[in-house]
């Protein structure tokens, strides 16, 4: 039995704002969330890339200590967006704790700031002192599913837990596997998303791979530059996104506010290299997604591309889009606004796409000034387009050769 | 160390570390305040700081069944007394 799955709530904390109003304002006004990299008293002086997609505004949390004690920064983000989604959805506490609601949520590797504290203690304290300083909760704060289970604890959620930790496809998998959980009747609803906290180690990893942007260190807002001729790499970022998925009839009967329908999802692997983008692998993912959604590629009006602004990644993605969708759909690279929010990017880009569908506009790819001729076969968005979007695709690709596509449709 | 001093410090610890204000001396801490096994481990670390010496694994295990502030005070009093006794014996 295949059931229809709809999105009934969405919330995000991003470098360009917290909540729909702020985020839409940034999209409409070309506001970038990329800021100078902060000093970390550890490795930041040695990192060549000096930019970071930063959440630099205050967020007022009201979590009680019994919840805070197992929460690292990534879980603060996660629980906050989860709280907002639960409130927005209007689901009752009885339903939330009934076992009919599950959680699919993740981060790329737990909490790096907690792990860093553990190692700092380990390498600086002597003997027994190091052992004593490792707290009883350090593992709970830093384990790979820490975001998911801090959410279940805080809200008493007793359904299934899925916690993908597949780097940049973490939260697109959360939504995809959440969608399948509801579609095939395992859960009535799934709270899905991902989060990552401020972390310079992630920057160092990409920096060492020569994949980070370095040419705009003195002008952070001009990078990253998806599909642009002057793009020189990605910008690591922080943030969180969460959505509520529900079975369509259940949502309709209870009078839920339906934001969009998830009509398809696909995920595959390149079956080889763990880093390099793979044209055949990505092309297959996009085709599988279209088949899963049971639509014609021409029905897709808008594609939110993964588009990290690396030299090869954008070209391979452009070729794959061209192969499957031709030049019909508009293509936007939302990372131009905030950089690459890692585990959160799939959910944040899904949420931004929903906002654009709701508000009837397509945001331009920020910093796309001169399209790289090798990416020019697509229908790029370089200024705000006021046009309804009925069907959209969100593409994400990750280290490890993991590829995903989500397909959304606005309900008429 | 008097019983009164122990009670005062334990209540301070609960307020400072666990954000639990004026707990009843015989309240079941788990049921009344959600005080769990993670909190218990942290409480033992605070008790070590208060006593000024490390608890042995055996002494820590004796705390497993504790549920109330009164029982915590009994525990601290007992540990402090046995330490004093062993120190005195050593001095003789």
Mark yes or no for CB contact B19/A69 under 8 Å.
no
Tell whether B21 lies on the interface with A, counting CB pairs under 8 A. no
Q: Which domains does chain B have, with CATH numbers?
A: 3-85 (1.10.1200.10)
Cα separations (Å) of A401 from A163, A165, A168, A205, A242? 18, 13, 10, 17, 24
Chain A residues whose CB is inside 8 A of the B42 CB are 69, 135-136
Task: Quick: pLDDT tens for A352-398.
Answer: 999 999 999 999 999 999 999 999 999 999 999 999 999 999 999 99
* Domain limits, chain A: 5-109+144-409
Question: Is residue B92 pLDDT above 60, yes or no?
Answer: no
Chain A residues whose CB is inside 8 A of the B39 CB are 69
| Rounded Cα gap, residues B17 and A238, in angstroms | 30
| Rounded Cα gap, residues A105 and A347, in angstroms | 10
Task: Quick: pLDDT tens for B1-35.
Answer: 899 999 999 999 999 999 999 999 999 999 999 99
| Rounded Cα gap, residues A295 and A8, in angstroms | 23
Chain A residues whose CB is inside 8 A of the B19 CB are 64-65
**B17 closest CA partner among A91, A69, A151:** A69
Distance from CA of B21 to the nearest CA of A (A): 13
| Rounded Cα gap, residues B16 and A22, in angstroms | 37
The DSSP secondary structure of A193-212, one letter per residue, reads EEEE---HHHHHHHHHTT-B
Mark yes or no for CB contact B34/A66 under 8 Å.
yes
**A82 closest CA partner among A64, A63, A100:** A63
Which of B33, B38, B49, B54 to mutate to probe the A interface, most A CBs <10 Å?
B38
For chain B positions 29-68, those within 8 Å of chain A (CB to CB) are 33-34, 36, 38-39, 41-42, 45
In degrees and rounded to multiples of 5, residue A402 shows phi and psi of -90, 135
For A60-117, strand residue ranges (E) read 101-106
A330-332 and A391-398 strand pairing:
unpaired
| Rounded Cα gap, residues A303 and A292, in angstroms | 16
Q: Are A230 and A381 in contact (CB under 8 A)?
A: no
pLDDT at A123: 81
Look-up of token digits 């590829």: A403
Mark yes or no for CB contact A70/B38 under 8 Å.
yes
Question: Is residue A134 pLDDT above 80, yes or no?
Answer: no
User: What is the third-level CATH fold of A5-109+144-409?
Assistant: Peroxisomal Thiolase; Chain A, domain 1 (3.40.47)
Which of A64, A67, A69, A137 to mutate to probe the B interface, most B CBs <10 Å?
A69
Mark yes or no for CB contact B38/A137 under 8 Å.
yes
Task: Quick: pLDDT tens for A87-126.
Answer: 999 999 999 999 999 999 999 999 999 998 888 887 887 6
Give the rounded percent of residues in chain A with a pLDDT score beyond 70. 99
Task: Quick: pLDDT tens for A156-186.
Answer: 999 999 999 999 999 999 999 999 999 999 9
Interior CA angle at A340 toward A8 and A115, to 5°? 95
pLDDT at B1: 83
List the single residue in B with minimal CA-CA distance to A66.
Answer: B34
pLDDT at B89: 67
């Amino acid at each position: 039995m295949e059931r229809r799955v709809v999105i009934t709530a969405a919330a995000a904390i991003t470098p360009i704002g917290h909540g729909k109003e702020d985020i839409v304002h940034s999209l409409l006004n070309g506001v970038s969330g990329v800021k100078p990299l902060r000093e970390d008293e550890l490795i930041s002086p040695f990192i060549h890339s000096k930019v970071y997609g930063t959440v630099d505004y205050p967020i007022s949390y009201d979590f009680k200590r019994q919840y805070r004690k197992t929460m690292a920064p990534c879980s603060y983000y996660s629980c906050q967006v989860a709280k907002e989604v639960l409130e927005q959805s209007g689901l009752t506490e009885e339903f939330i704790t009934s076992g009919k609601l599950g959680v699919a949520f993740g981060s790329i590797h737990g909490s790096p700031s907690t792990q860093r504290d553990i190692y700092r203690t380990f390498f600086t304290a002597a003997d027994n002192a190091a052992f004593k300083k490792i707290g009883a909760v350090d593992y709970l704060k830093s384990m790979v599913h820490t975001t998911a289970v801090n959410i279940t604890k805080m809200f008493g959620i007793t359904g299934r837990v899925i916690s993908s930790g597949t780097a940049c496809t973490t939260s697109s998998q959360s939504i995809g596997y959440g969608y399948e959980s509801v579609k095939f009747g395992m859960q009535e609803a799934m709270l899905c998303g991902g989060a990552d906290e401020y972390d310079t180690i992630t920057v160092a990893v990409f920096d060492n791979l020569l994949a980070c942007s370095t040419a705009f260190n003195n002008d952070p807002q001009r990078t990253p530059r998806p599909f642009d001729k002057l793009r020189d790499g990605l910008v690591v970022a922080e943030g969180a996104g969460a959505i509520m998925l529900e079975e369509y009839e259940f949502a309709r009967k209870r009078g839920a506010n339906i934001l969009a329908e998830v009509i398809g999802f696909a995920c595959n692997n390149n079956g080889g290299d763990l880093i390099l983008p793979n044209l055949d692998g990505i092309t297959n993912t996009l085709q599988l997604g279209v088949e899963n959604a049971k639509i014609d590629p021409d029905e897709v009006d808008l594609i939110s591309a993964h588009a990290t602004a690396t030299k090869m990644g954008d070209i391979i993605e452009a070729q794959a889009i061209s192969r499957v969708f031709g030049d019909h759909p508009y293509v936007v690279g939302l990372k131009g606004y905030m950089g690459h929010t890692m585990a959160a990017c799939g959910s944040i880009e899904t949420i931004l796409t929903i906002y654009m569908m709701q508000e009837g506009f397509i945001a331009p790819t920020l910093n796309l000034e001169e399209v790289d001729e090798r990416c020019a076969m697509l229908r790029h968005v370089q200024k705000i387009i006021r046009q309804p979007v009925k069907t959209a695709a969100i593409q994400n690709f990750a280290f490890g050769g993991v590829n995903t596509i989500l397909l959304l449709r606005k309900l008429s | 160390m008097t019983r009164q001093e122990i009670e005062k410090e334990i209540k301070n610890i609960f307020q400072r570390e666990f954000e639990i204000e004026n707990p009843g001396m015989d309240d079941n801490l788990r049921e009344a305040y959600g005080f769990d096994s993670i909190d218990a481990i942290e409480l033992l670390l605070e008790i070590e700081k208060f006593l000024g010496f490390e608890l042995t694994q055996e002494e820590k295990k004796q705390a497993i069944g504790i549920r109330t502030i009164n029982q915590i005070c009994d525990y601290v009093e007992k540990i402090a007394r046995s330490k004093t006794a062993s120190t005195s014996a050593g001095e003789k």
